[in-house]
Amino acid sequence: MTDHNATRSEGANVFFIITSGDVRHALTDICNSLRQLGCGGDQIMQTEIVLAEILNNIVEHAYSGTEPNQISVLVDAAASTLQVEIRDFGIAMPGGKLPDGHLPSAIPDDVANWPEGGFGWAMIRELADDLSYQRVGDENVVQFRIGVNS
Amino acid sequence: MKISAQRNGSVMVIHVDEDRIDASVAIQFKDQFCNLLDETADPVVLDLSQVDFLDSSGLGAVVAVRKLIGRDRKLDLAGLRPAVSKVMVLTRMNTVFEIHATIDDAMRFHGAGHVV
């Protein structure tokens, strides 16, 4: 086995502290790290989709109108199911809970009636298992899991 | 952002030469796409074969340009990579967009020749 042929091992964690101005590069780095830990392509893709939506939501809402701020992302890759925790110091979720994010069960044929938003939370809720939100002191803490076949 | 238009007979092809359409480029995508559009009613095919990742903002921008074009003109998608395809399926937008596996398939569908 070569050095760069990393395998997932017990206690394998990916931890990133990112600034809210650089979500794009952070996502690429996190996915590369998960790949090096031996995670499968489909699981990484699903993790990236959910992470992208949650991080963008933090930038656009929790840190809205502020200077670039810190977001931490911890992915516990020790087991086959990835356990992800995202923390930020922005404003709390309205109502102390995550948005519902439902799309219509069928998209209307007429383009004028197509949904214009709600895609993000709909995708998060489709892909993320055990999704939770807590306000802990000054921090927002979002946790979720992505299984091998979520 | 790198995006370009190409005429192929009666079909207008818009190529996105970026690996991501995400929150950081969604508005640019929408503006540049609209600048490239001609005044005809010919079908438009959006070539996404270089795009590895589309987030909800990127999808929102694609939906927005679809709405701007109006119901009298077609906008098809072509060359979806796995993560882009996944996003379309998760949001069920795959049920309302005409999606072609490759740009050549899209050209055949519209009775136009190969894209050079």
Provide the shortest C-alpha distance from residue B96 to chain A (in Å).
7
What is the chain B residue with the closest CA to A126?
B90
Provide the shortest C-alpha distance from residue A21 to chain B (in Å).
9
Q: What is the mean pLDDT of residues A44-48?
A: 98
Cβ–Cβ under 8 Å, residues A18 and A54: no
Per the CB < 8 Å rule, is B86 touching A60? Answer: no
Per the CB < 8 Å rule, is A114 touching B57? Answer: no
Average pLDDT, chain A: 90
Is it the case that residue B107 has pLDDT exceeding 90? Answer: yes
Q: Considering only the top CATH level, what class is B3-109?
A: alpha beta
pLDDT in tens, B8-53: 999 999 999 999 999 999 999 999 999 999 999 999 999 999 999 9
Residue numbers in A near B64 (CB within 8 A): 116
Mutate to test the interface with B, among A119, A123, A124 (most CBs of B within 10 A): A119
Q: What is the mean pLDDT of residues A92-96?
A: 95
From A61-65, A78-82, A146-150, B85-89, the region with the lowest mean pLDDT: A146-150
Provide the shortest C-alpha distance from residue B27 to chain A (in Å).
14
Q: What is the mean pLDDT of residues B87-102?
A: 97
pLDDT at B115: 66
Relative to beta strand A129-136, strand A139-146 is antiparallel
pLDDT at A7: 46
| C-alpha closest to that of B56 among A122, A69, A58, A119 | A119
Q: What is the mean pLDDT of residues B43-65?
A: 97
Residue numbers in A near B96 (CB within 8 A): 107-109, 111, 114
Which fold, A13-146? Heat Shock Protein 90 (3.30.565)
ipTM over 0.90: yes
DSSP A62: I
Q: Which helix (H) or strand (E) holds B14?
A: strand B11-16
Is it the case that residue A11 has pLDDT exceeding 70? Answer: no
What does the domain layout of chain B look like in residue ranges? 3-109
Alpha helices (H) along chain A = 23-36, 41-57, 119-127
Residue numbers in B near A46 (CB within 8 A): 86
pLDDT at A12: 85
Q: Which helix (H) or strand (E) holds A140?
A: strand A139-146
pLDDT-derived band of residue A103, with 50, 70 and 90 as boundaries?
confident
pLDDT at A4: 39
Per the CB < 8 Å rule, is A52 touching B71? Answer: no
Q: Which of A60, A111, A126 sits opposite B66 (nearest CB)?
A: A111
Q: Which of A56, A107, A115 sits opposite B95 (nearest CB)?
A: A107
What is the chain A residue with the closest CA to B71?
A111
* Interface check A115 vs B, CB under 8 A: yes
Cβ neighbours around A137 below 10 Å, total:
6
Is it the case that residue B97 has pLDDT exceeding 60? Answer: yes
